[in-house]
A = this chain, B = another copy of it.
Amino acid sequence: MTHQELFKNIKKKRSFLCVGLDTDVDKLPDGIDRSSKGVFEFNRQIIDATHEFCVAYKVNTAFYESMGSAGWEAMEHTVKYMQVVCPGVFTIADAKRGDIGNTSGMYASAFFEHLNFDSITIAPYMGEDSIAPFLKYTGKWVILLALTSNKGAEDFQLKELARSFKNEKVKLFQEVIRTAQNWGHLENMMFVVGATRPEMLAEVRAIAPDHFLLVPGVGVQGGSLQEVSRYGMNKTCGLLVNISRSILYAGKDSNFAQKAKEEAKKIQEEMEKIIAGSILFHS
């Protein structure tokens, strides 16, 4: 998918919502079998209920791997299902992979060929050759971790480096964003920036004004959609805001799909207002 196609979908759906399929087999509602088959059945109903209101789905690989090969099978069925039911939707493997070149090539093959995801999240620690194999695929995206939504982001990502840039101190996450722009571009690279530090989005926009950002942390983790939009939106929207738990588990029983739909619709309506009020899109 191209940058423009993604922007077009956002305008058409008046939404920049990404629904996170962090499907926990132990949290499946009554009436859904607590198995890998149940996980797919749950995802199927969530996708049917929400795809009208979102432009992307993010599949968190950890939740599937906790069930082993059967979980991987549920992931395979899930990504295939969304490609059939909502073929224009942007699909994200939230896998946080990254390894030496030949190994990253294997991960690229797993997620871009075998599973046919549009994108994958990557940890930057191992540098350029750990990312390059993913950037070889036209129309596919690397979503590089920059500033994550968790407390542990303080441990390394927010550390200041010895070198400065134009007399300003550079934090590790800023160095990651700056350096990675030499490897990828607006058509194959996004960055993860957590919603829990919305003011940092302004710092990110100073370095990467035009890139799409994947923003987790709105909802259960406490981030605010308004704040994220204020600091992070650009002229092609530039935001995919991920929400997982508050949509998936909006209902506790057989009403779960209906409740997920209502929650996704509510968020889409809030996003529609933000889009309508933004001068950026319409300038």
Q: Which residue of B lies closest to A73 (CB)?
A: B69
For chain A residues 130-157, which have a beta carbon within 8 Å of chain B?
130-131, 145, 148-157
Is A125 interfacial (CB-CB < 8 Å)? Answer: yes
**In the complex, what distance in Å separates the CA atom of A70 from the CA atom of B72?**
9
Q: Which residue of B lies closest to A154 (CB)?
A: B127
Chain B: minimal CB distance from A127 (Å): 2
**In the complex, what distance in Å separates the CA atom of A149 from the CA atom of B71?**
32
Chain B: minimal CB distance from A200 (Å): 15
For chain A residues 18-51, which have a beta carbon within 8 Å of chain B?
22, 24
Are B169 and A114 in contact, with the CB atoms below 8 A? no
Q: Which residue of B lies closest to A157 (CB)?
A: B125
CB < 8 Å: which of B115, B125, B149 contacts A145?
B125
**In the complex, what distance in Å separates the CA atom of A128 from the CA atom of B156?**
10
How many interface residues does chain A have, given as a range? 35 or more
Are A126 and B98 in contact, with the CB atoms below 8 A? no
CB < 8 Å: which of B24, B152, B172 contacts A156?
B172
Chain B: minimal CB distance from A56 (Å): 18
Q: Which residue of B lies closest to A158 (CB)?
A: B127
Are A126 and B110 in contact, with the CB atoms below 8 A? no
For chain A residues 79-132, which have a beta carbon within 8 Å of chain B?
94, 96-101, 103-104, 106-107, 109-111, 114-115, 123-131
Is A247 interfacial (CB-CB < 8 Å)? Answer: no
**In the complex, what distance in Å separates the CA atom of A107 from the CA atom of B126?**
20
The CB with the most chain B CB atoms within 10 A, among A75, A115, A127, is that of: A127
Chain B: minimal CB distance from A197 (Å): 13
Beyond A67-B114, A129-B151, A155-B127, whether A104 also contacts B172 by CB under 8 A is: no
**In the complex, what distance in Å separates the CA atom of A160 from the CA atom of B114?**
39
Q: When A and B form their complex, which 9 residue pairs have the shortest distance between CB atoms, in order from nearest?
A: A127-B152, A127-B155, A62-B106, A69-B72, A160-B162, A65-B110, A69-B73, A100-B150, A123-B123
5 extra A-B contacts, CB within 8 A, seeds A69-B70, A123-B126, A159-B162: A60-B103, A62-B97, A71-B110, A127-B150, A127-B155
Q: Could you name 24 residue pairs across A and B whose Cβ atoms are closer than 8 Å?
A: A24-B106, A60-B99, A62-B110, A65-B106, A66-B110, A67-B110, A69-B73, A98-B123, A100-B149, A100-B221, A125-B145, A125-B157, A127-B151, A127-B153, A128-B152, A130-B150, A131-B152, A156-B176, A156-B179, A159-B162, A159-B175, A160-B161, A162-B169, A172-B172
